[in-house]
Chains A and B, each alone.
Chain A
Amino acid sequence: MRTTFAVIVALVAWLMAAPLVAHHAFSSEFDINKPLKLTGTLTKWEMINPHSWFHMDIKQPDGTIVPWLVEGGSPNQLIRLGVTKNTLKVGTEFTIEGYQARDGTNKAVGRNFILADGSRYLFGGSAPGAGGADK
């Protein structure tokens, strides 16, 4: 099939016209100038809509523990794909890359959830029949 440049431009315009849109303005809630990387242990997963909240205990260099709250995606699609609270158990250690809340409290959006072996935790992809991911 021969695709002309004009057709490619038109199709890209078509796709750009219906982008993924977040529920609220995340850049108003979290600070683009405060990127962070936190490693800790899951203590509670609030599977509430439209956004999950992950409670984590973050160990400091001096050994003290500081609790953080991390925002993630809606649980409805995860449940549909077979992911439950048992999939990500309390006590699991992982790292999040994200941005801290604008108000400076210990809250963050979790851009990526990364397991101890360095792989990104694909919640949807980890579910049975979710499309062939290996995590």
Chain B
Amino acid sequence: MLRRFVAATALGIAIALLLVSTLTAQTNYKVPRLPDGHPDFQGFWNNTTYTPLERPKGIDREFFTKEEVLEQMKRAAAEEGEQTTPGTIADVHYDFTQFGLDRSQAPVAVNLRTSLIVDPPDGHLPPMTEEGKRLNAARAEARKRAGAITDAAQNQPLSVRCILMDRDGPPMLAGAYNNNYQIVQAPDTVMVLVEMLHSPRIIPTNARPALPASIRQIEGSSRGRWDGDTLVIETTNFTDMFMFAAQGASADMKLTERFTRISDDTLMYRFTVDDPKVWTRPWSAEVPWKKSIGPIFEHACHEGNYSLTNLLRGAREDEKRAREGKGRP
């Protein structure tokens, strides 16, 4: 039953991908417009991807062929649907497939690129500056001083504490599942509702002045404008707790996101990170967003109800057993 299910789903993906790639091949695509004349991006989108941010070692080209990608995505769908081996760390988890959370059960846009990073052309993050290395070493030291992540709830990452996820960003990057977004446009504002943690990004597009540099926010301060048929969003004023710190970025990062609709089914999301404190040059990545199905269901995150308690109590139990000489840590 499982194999049939996976095979049927994988076939569905293959067909969907072929359809998408056919659409993206259209060069005469006419973007639908709203009454105010701007392109219509409204609706539901999904940025699930199989493509890593950086190009893995051993790959020296920018693109795979369509056949290679389709074959590998079918293989990945089958692998994600397979059972894990009992007694392994990977097995201590619920089955993604049973809960519809493997990538084969989400809309996935075709991406022939070997990395999400498109610039530098080698698909890798640029070299880090000395100041960037010092900043990240200091962050690592501060985490070490705070103790283990199971020492206190506050030591758990923001994502586990249901405060902010990688899907929120910005920049908005997919996780394993729940990668849906809803875009709503008004003449002077664009709203991007992020499914996971249910946070809306409300972005003025009416030339509202940027916040003063002294006012910092965990998701920064975003201002939008139209560059032809592309929506450009510039974000600054981050705090040091923002999500992209995990990639090494500083709170002084300037982020430029660009949305362009390239087919009925595909919204191209490109972002540029300009952070001279950390990287020797700006870098850019590109992620196609695939049209999804609405509505977006509320994602009120309740990790504190059970799991956080279980994590902390589990660690205390381990410590007690260790004191009694019965096991880890």
Indicate the member of A76, A81, A107 with the most B CB atoms within 10 Å.
A76
Question: Is B34 interfacial (CB 8 A cutoff)?
Answer: no
Asked if residues A102 and B314 are in contact (CB atoms below 8 Å), the reply is: yes
Sort chain A's interface into a size bin: 35 or more
B19 close to A (CB within 8 Å):
no
Which DSSP category, helix, strand, loop or mixed, fits chain B's interface?
loop
Determine if A23 and B306 form an interchain contact, defined as CB atoms under 8 angstroms apart: no
Cβ of A79 under 8 Å from chain B: yes
A-B pair count, CB < 8 Å, reads 226
Give A22 to B71 CA distance when docked, in angstroms: 25
Within 8 A of A (CB), among B282-329: 293, 297, 299-303, 305-307, 310-311, 313-318
In the complex formed, the residue of B with least CB distance to A20 is B176
Asked if A20 and B59 make an inter-chain contact with CB atoms under 8 angstroms apart, the answer reads no
Q: How would you classify the secondary structure of chain A's contact residues: helix, strand, loop or mixed? A: mixed
A14 close to B105 (CB less than 8 A): no
Contacts of B280 in A (CB 8 A): none
Range of interface residues on chain B? 35 or more
B303 interface neighbour in A23, A78, A121, Cβ under 8 Å: A23
Find A102's partner among B86, B88, B96, B313 (CB 8 Å cutoff): B313
A28 CA to B71 CA in the complex, in Å?
A: 35
Task: Kindly list chain B residues whose C-beta atoms are within 8 Å of the C-beta of A110.
Answer: 94
CA distance A73 to B2 in the complex (A): 18
B103 interface residue (CB < 8 Å to A) = yes
Q: Tell me the minimal C-beta distance from A111 to chain B in angstroms.
A: 6
A18 and B54 CA atoms in complex are apart in Å by 10
Q: When the two chains form their complex, are residues A112 and B95 in contact, meaning their CB atoms are under 8 A apart?
A: yes
Q: Which of A21, A28, A127 has the most chain B CB within a 10 Å cutoff?
A: A28
The answer to whether A73 and B150 touch across the interface, beta carbons within 8 angstroms, is no
Cβ proximity bits B1-18 to A, threshold 8 Å, 1 near / 0 not = 110110011001000000
